[in-house]
Amino acid sequence: MKRREFIRLLGGAAAAGWAFPASAQPRPRISILHSGFPKRAAIDLLFEALGKLGYGATDIDLLGAEGDPVRLKALVDQLGAQRPVVIIAITSPAVLALKEARLKIPVVFAAVLDPVGLGIVESFSHPGGDFTGVTYGEAEIGGKQLELLIDAISGLTRAAVLWSASASGNAARLESIRNAAHTRGIEIFARKLSGVEDLASAFDDATRAKAQAAIFLTDNAIFGQRKLVAELALTHSLPTIHSFRLEVEDGGLMFYGPSVDEMLRRAASLADKILRGARPSELPVENPTRFELVINLETAKALGLTIPESFLMRADKLIE
């Protein structure tokens, strides 16, 4: 068969949703779409998980919207023209943009808090349509983060919540924090973030409100400024707890949330199942099963904070 005819037939197969085994030639195309900055995230873990399933870097296209909605739409249009066999979408904005585009391409999502509430899938057990994936935990994580701050910081009576409304799920987590605070008699100062340029003034406001610690609920753009957030927290003598491990590796005090390694590994596994012939509508949405507590001891020392030994023993990882 001539090369041109072969390529035409391959393109038609991909458009029809045919799947190729990982060991077959030609190789299927996998596209990863991140609404933020994928190379500033733990994207290497996803490549590693796909590699263990037999997919090389040459099989994968990585697309990052850098927090720009216009760029994100252009990338979605690009995917519609390229027709990869499966798309792995990271974060809610990426998934929602793909849902709106109705590309009829299988999508595996990760780091999405409420896929049913967002209208991405019909239910966890029966997703329906072209989408399935791994959620990023429940809203109750916010309440658990507050509980951890209370256990770690002696005499905590007032905490700030610095949160971005542009990230779906943050409002629900704020409500969970408020409920937990009411139960424990903790005062909450909630400060909405309008963007990266608002970070310094938000920390100033938290200090003026006499907050003794802060729960930081980020978004795509702010996530790319993790070191700045850590510097501002240190400058304001404000211990922080975060929802993503990289925020603590870059200087935040604590992280509590689902294991990103597990989440991306399971997303890769779902993509592999689709590439081998499964339909996303028949693959149940998966919940996190592993949650991690990570503490940055260097940051604790810089803050002059003594964390109880009993609390440190609960950590999955200590950064020294």
Q: What integer is the mean pLDDT of 257-276?
A: 94
Whole-number pLDDT of residue 76: 97
Q: What is the DSSP string of 249-295?
A: HTT-SEEEEE-HHHHHHHHHHHHHHHHTT--GGGSPPBPP--EEEEE
Q: What integer is the mean pLDDT of 196-220?
A: 96
Q: Whole-angstrom Cα distance, residue 291 to residue 297?
A: 19
Quickly name the fold that domain 141-258+292-319 has: Rossmann fold (3.40.50)
Q: Whole-angstrom Cα distance, residue 237 to residue 17?
A: 54
Same fold, 3-136+260-289 and 141-258+292-319: yes
Whole-number pLDDT of residue 7: 34
Sign of CA dihedral 238, 302, 40, 124: negative
Widest CA span in the chain: 76
**pLDDT tens-digit readout, 55-74:** 998 899 999 998 889 999 99
- Domain range annotation of the chain: 3-136+260-289, 141-258+292-319
Average pLDDT, the chain: 89
Q: Letter for the amino acid at 102?
A: R
Task: Assess whether pLDDT exceeds 90 at residue 112.
Answer: no
Q: What is the DSSP string of 184-205?
A: HT-EEEEEEE-SGGGHHHHHHH
Task: Assess whether pLDDT exceeds 50 at residue 196.
Answer: yes
Task: Assess whether pLDDT exceeds 80 at residue 119.
Answer: yes
Q: Where are the beta strands (DSSP E) in 122-250?
A: 131-135, 158-164, 187-193, 213-217, 240-242
Q: Whole-angstrom Cα distance, residue 283 to residue 172?
A: 26
- According to DSSP, the residues that pair with 215 across neighbouring strands are 161, 241
Give the pLDDT band of residue 22 (cuts 50, 70, 90).
Answer: very low
Q: Whole-angstrom Cα distance, residue 127 to residue 285?
A: 7
Q: How far apart are the first and last CA of the chain?
A: 60
pTM of the model: 0.80
Q: Whole-angstrom Cα distance, residue 258 to residue 245?
A: 9
Give the pLDDT band of residue 12 (cuts 50, 70, 90).
Answer: very low
Q: Whole-angstrom Cα distance, residue 192 to residue 179?
A: 18
Whole-number pLDDT of residue 99: 97
Who has greater pLDDT, 4 or 276? 276
Share of the chain above pLDDT 90, in %: 75
Using DSSP, how many helices (H) and how many strands (E) does the chain show?
A: 13, 12
Give the pLDDT band of residue 260 (cuts 50, 70, 90).
Answer: confident
- Give which of 1, 13, 71 is closest to 38, Cα–Cα: 71
Give the pLDDT band of residue 20 (cuts 50, 70, 90).
Answer: very low
Share of the chain above pLDDT 70, in %: 92
Please give, one letter per residue, the 3-state secondary structure of 5-27: HHHHHHHHHHHCCCCCCCCCCCC
**pLDDT tens-digit readout, 79-92:** 999 999 999 999 88
What does each C-alpha distance from 278 to 15, 130, 191, 253, 275 come to in angstroms? 16, 11, 44, 42, 7
Whole-number pLDDT of residue 26: 52
Task: Assess whether pLDDT exceeds 70 at residue 16.
Answer: no
**pLDDT tens-digit readout, 135-179:** 987 778 999 999 999 999 999 999 999 999 887 788 889 999 999
Domain 3-136+260-289 CATH class label: alpha beta
